[in-house]
Each structure stands twice: as C-alpha cells, then as structure tokens.
C-alpha cells in the first residue's frame, strides 16, 4: 500500500514568530509531548485522519482535536500541497471553536499563501 507522505510545518509570521511554538512552550511538558505525538500522527495520516481526531471547520481550515485529562486542545491547520501548515493552538473552553480562532487561522493561511503559494516553502 503506497501512502502519500505529508510534512507538518508551523506557520511563522513575517517577523519570524511561531504561534504554535509559543503555544507549545506555554504547556506542561507532558501535555506538550502528547500534542507532538498527535502532530506526528497527523503528518503520517494527512487528510485520512478521521473524526473525532480531526475535522474540517470552514473551507480549508481544519482542527486537530487533542484531549488530555479535562483539557481540550485544538490546533488549527490547512493543507498547502503536501504540507500541513499548523497556524496556532489553543485551549478550547466552549462547545464550539470560537470564530475569532477560525478567523485568525484564515489570516495566517492567506499570509502563507501570499508568501509561498500553494506548494509551501
């Protein structure tokens, strides 16, 4: 069986900041480690990663769902060719993903596309 391969990249701002790295740095080591494991799984499975682990939110914006104890973490991402661009992460505190988080991811996606096109870096 020949599976397609994907590469996970963290979105970086024009100034070189990485919202994903900042989010991961704010977490306890155990939680950060588990999230990194899920990112590896996302890289391996790409769009084949099923619900409830991943889902499409709006348009090209998707979410990786990670539950650790009573914490509900979300990482938002999109595909750019064979690259999975993770825009940012947050601790989900309501039943739905807040619209401002989706809009933030859309802005990052538009910036990425303007700088790198559909093929990624």
CB atoms within 10 A of CB 116: 15
Q: Where are the domains of the chain?
A: 7-116
CATH superfamily of 7-116: RelE-like (3.30.2310.20)
Q: Is 27 helix (H, G, I), strand (E, B) or coil?
A: coil
Between CA 56 and CA 64 the distance in angstroms is 9
**Would you state the pLDDT for residue 121?**
59
Would you say the pTM of this structure is higher than 0.75?
A: yes
Two structure tokens written together for 36: 């990194």
| pLDDT computed for residue 117 by the predictor | 80
Q: What is the mean pLDDT of each run of 10 residues along the chain (121 residues)?
A: 82 96 96 97 95 96 96 97 96 94 97 82 59
Say if CB 86 and CB 50 are below 8 A apart. Answer: no
């Amino acid at each position: 069986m020949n599976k397609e391969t994907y590469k996970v990249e963290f979105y970086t701002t024009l100034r070189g900041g990485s919202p994903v790295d900042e989010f991961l740095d704010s977490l306890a080591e155990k939680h950060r480690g588990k999230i990194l494991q899920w990112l590896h799984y996302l890289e391996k499975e790409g769009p084949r990663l099923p619900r409830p682990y991943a889902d499409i939110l709006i348009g090209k914006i998707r979410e990786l769902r990670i539950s650790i104890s009573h914490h509900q973490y979300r990482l938002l991402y999109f595909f750019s060719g064979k690259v999975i661009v993770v825009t940012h992460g947050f601790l989900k505190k309501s039943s739905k993903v807040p619209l401002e988080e989706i809009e933030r991811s859309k802005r990052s996606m538009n910036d990425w596309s303007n700088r790198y096109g559909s093929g990624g870096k």
